[in-house]
Structures are given as structure tokens and as C-alpha cells.
Amino acid sequence: MDAFEQVVAELFWSKGFWVRTSVKVNLTKAEKVIAGRPSMPRPEIDLVAYCGADNRLLAIECKSYLDSRGVTHAEACGSSDSKTYKLFREPVLRDVVLKRLVLQMVEERLCPPGATVQLGMVAGRVAGEDEPMLIDLFEQEGWLFRGPAWLKAELTKLSGGSYENQVAAVVSKLLLRR
């Protein structure tokens, strides 16, 4: 598990979600064919978070990109030649993977039948002035987007809360508490 995924998982956990990281989605052979990838390995979701209050699963891509240019709008929306962000760029693949994810979580008794699923991304860094365009794209598609400002705000909240023996909470207290 990647450290950024762990921080994001702890933030969702602090909001009352149960979380799993690095979730492999067990597509059937038929589903792989429908997705146009008959020999693909199992897709992996960085973070799956479940909220029992509204029976909702979040399938979240975690992109830190802290020492790079950051997430770009062109890559997320599919207007570049990049092969990244497949679930955001390829509707058939997205549909197949997210439907199977819900079935898998129900079969594993991690959520009840009827759960809805929402695709999302948490980005530690966004390229240039792309964040407003990413927010618009994600809202139009019904996806969840959380960027650097959200991360800072949530870590700041953790720093002011009661003691939790979680890495994100402890580090935020060390760095952000006065």
C-alpha cells in the first residue's frame, strides 16, 4: 500500500467510512470481453470506502503526484494520448468494473445489496490551473473529486481533534497544532 493511499484512507475513516485499500476487482472472462480486454489482469481500485448511512461505495483513485506536475484535466477527460485514468476515460470499462465491484462487496458481505457506487479521485497535486476544470468535469460525470485544498482542510481538522492512533492524525498534530 502506498503512503498517500493510507493518508486518504484515514481521512475517509475519520468521516465514518470503512475503507479497504488496493482492492482487486475479480472480473469474469465474459466481463473482460465486454470491457474489450479479454486478457487483462484484475483491475485494482486504490481505495474503496463504504458509507452505511446511505449504502454508498466510493471507488477512489489516489494520485499524490507531490513531486511532479500533478493531475491534468487533459488526461482525466481523455483529450490527451495518455493511457492513464482508464476508469475515467473508458465508459464501458468503468461500467463493467464498478458493477462487478458492487457485486463483489455484496458477495464478501462488506455491504448490503442495493449499494450505489461512485467513482472518485483524490489528488495531492493538480497541474497548473486545471483544478476548476477537473471539478467541473467530475461534477458533470457524477464523480467525486477532492484536491489539495480538501486534503489540507481535512488534515487540519484531524490536528484539532482528540487523539487517534492513526498516522495521518499523529503527523497532522505534530505539524499543524500550535
| Phi, psi of 126, deg, nearest 5 | -120, 140
pLDDT at 139 (0 to 100) = 96
**What does the pLDDT read at residue 15?**
92
pTM for the model: 0.91
Divide the 178 residues of the chain into consecutive groups of 10 and give the mean pLDDT of each group: 89 94 96 93 96 96 92 83 85 96 96 96 94 95 96 89 82 80
* pLDDT number for residue 159: 85
Q: How far is CA 98 from CA 40, 49, 93, 121, in A?
A: 16, 13, 8, 14
Q: What pLDDT is stored for residue 178 in this prediction?
A: 67
- Look at the alpha carbons of 169, 172, 174, 176 in this order and tell me if their dihedral is positive or negative: negative
What's the distance, Cα to Cα, between the start and end of the chain in Å? 31
pLDDT of 164: 79
Q: Are strands 18-24 and 44-51 parallel, antiparallel or unpaired?
A: antiparallel
Q: Measured at the alpha carbon of residue 29, what is the angle toward residues 40 and 103, in degrees to the nearest 5?
A: 100
Please spell the DSSP secondary structure of 125-143, one letter per residue: -B-TT-HHHHHHHHHHHT-
Task: Please give the pLDDT value at position 48.
Answer: 98
Contact indicator for 141, 85 with CB cutoff of 8 Å: no
What pLDDT is stored for residue 167 in this prediction?
Answer: 81
Q: Are strands 56-63 and 116-123 parallel, antiparallel or unpaired?
A: parallel
**Out of 3.50.50.60, 3.40.30.10, 3.90.170.10, 3.40.1350.10, which CATH number does the structure's domain 3-172 have?**
3.40.1350.10
> Rg (Cα) of the chain, in Å, rounded?
17
